[in-house]
Structure 1
Amino acid sequence: MTCLALYALAAATFAIGTTEFVTVGLIPGMACNLHVTVANLGSIATKPGPMLLYVGRPREFDEQDAVARASALFHRRGYHATSTRDLGDELSLNPSSLYRTFGDKHALFLRALDHYQACESIRNSEALAVEGPVREVLRDWFYSMVDAAAMPGCFVINSAVEMGTDDPDTTRRVNAAFNDTTGAIAKVLRRGVEAGELAADLDTDATADLLYTTLIGLRVRHRAGHDSKRLRAAVDQALNMLD
């Protein structure tokens, strides 16, 4: 029997500085002398008799990158279908490291949602700030939301559908995201009115709300795998209201 087979089942994890340690009890009375160096895990050293084994592992990971990967996982699977084990596997973190770094699954979910919305806000702002006729700017932006993508649909909208109003923290983020996007659309519409491209009496706020509500439906259909050509046709029809 090898010494490594003598580890007790119970283990505890703690951290000192940037190194994480796992303590493992060995069966008393079993003597072995072992020193093994394992890549990225530090050194394993034991001695005869009852003892503790310390395995050092540098906590060298990019926290923001971990949040981004968690965001993609929650986007793909949803909150309830994503387990703590799924997150640990995706981020290459054991449960204790995951909780120590992010708190709990819900706290990581909120950070992931914030990350996603921050990225979406930048993307939307850049797309809607493009110079050109406002109908074309809006059309191209809508198209980008319904074209084929590796991660279809919208994480924020998915979360709104899944969580409803049961989770106040998620609800606040969803409402803020909706208001942010609706405001960005209204800004483009006002630009069109000022440039004489759109009717002077256009209610830009109400129209922005209608267009965004349409976009929400389109993105749900996008996630459901509906054909992008049909969704583009729906975009064209929706923008006809601006004529």
Structure 2
Amino acid sequence: MARTKEFDPDAALQSALELFWRRGYEATSMADLVEALGIGRASIYATFGNKHDLFLKALERYAQNQDPSLLAELSLPGPALPGVRAVVRRFGQEAASEGARAPGCFITNTAAELGPHDDDAARRVERSWEHLETLLHSALVRARAQGELPEDRDPLTLARMLLVLMQGLRVVGKASSDPARVRDAVEQALALLD
């Protein structure tokens, strides 16, 4: 007779996500996971696979739950540029207020830590970035169609620039003690939308 699981896999995955998000992949050992999840090593392997498999599942969960308000903000009826500006400013405010001890963005952290040498992690990071870029691009296409954005501005290029800026804000926000650095970059980038 098969044994029933004596733990909640969903709660365990959330605990793993939070641990990986705080510490990163390399700095998290299996012993750390056993302690944080409160389950045995064999149960972790049987339910999630190895450490790398568990990390990828945690990253998937983070990406799926990542900021559901973005779509709402960027697709409000009426003028589109106020939503774009609000989203970029919100990313800047979050980055400027988090400080060096905050975990930052799990996607951005993964890109920096594993992106160069882990194809599976890099693909998941890329999917997240493609999603954000698509949301920004759609809003900027609407803005140009509504006459808010000058005709000579390319919505795709602007969306890509904003994506790179927003990810860079998260990196700088983790390490910089000067919030003005982030705020100034946001306002300079948004001036390109005028």
Letter in structure 2 aligned against 1:241: L
TM-score (norm 2): 0.87
Give the number of the structure whose alpha-carbon radius of gyration is greater: 1
User: Which amino acid is 1:231 matched to?
Assistant: V
- Does 1:158 find its partner at 2:125? no
Q: Does 1:189 align with 2:189?
A: no
Residue equivalent to 1:9: none
- Equivalent-residue separation in structure 1 for 2:57 and 2:76 (angstroms): 29
Aligned residue for 1:242, secondary structure, equals coil
Pick from 8, 15, 18 the counterpart of residue 69 of structure 1.
Answer: 15
- Given candidates 92, 96, 100, the residue that maps to 2:38 is 92
Question: 1:112-149 CA distances to partner (integer Å, 9 max, x unpaired)?
Answer: 11011111263422332234543321222123223235
Contact 2:144/2:151 (<8 A) preserved:
yes
Q: How does 1:225-240 map to 2 (within 5 A)?
A: 225-240=176-191
8 Å contact from structure 1 (residues 218, 231) kept in 2: yes
1:104 aligns with 2:50: yes
Q: Deviations over 1:60-113 (max 9, x none)?
A: 32x222222211211111110011111111111111111111111100100011
Q: Larger % of strand: which?
A: 1
- 2:156 is aligned with 1:205: yes
Residue 38 of structure 2 aligns with an amino acid whose one-letter code is S
Q: 1:153 to 1:133 in 2, by over 3 A?
A: farther
The residue type paired with residue 21 of structure 2 is H
- Number of residue equivalences: 189
Partner of 1:60: 7
User: Which residue identity lines up with residue 91 of structure 1 in the other structure?
Assistant: L
**Partner residue in 1 for 2:68:** 122
* Letter of the structure 1 residue corresponding to residue 144 of structure 2: V
Stretches of structure 1 that go unaligned for 5 or more consecutive residues are: 1-14, 20-58
2:7–2:39 Cα contact (<8 Å) kept = no
Listed one character per residue, the Cα deviations across residues 35-76 of structure 1 (whole Å, up to 9, x for unaligned) are xxxxxxxxxxxxxxxxxxxxxxxx132x22222221121111
Root mean square deviation, CA, Å: 2.1
Matched-pair contact (CA < 8 Å) for 1:127–1:141? yes
Aligned partners of 1:71 and 1:109 also within 8 Å: yes
Distance 2:72 2:25 in 1: 29
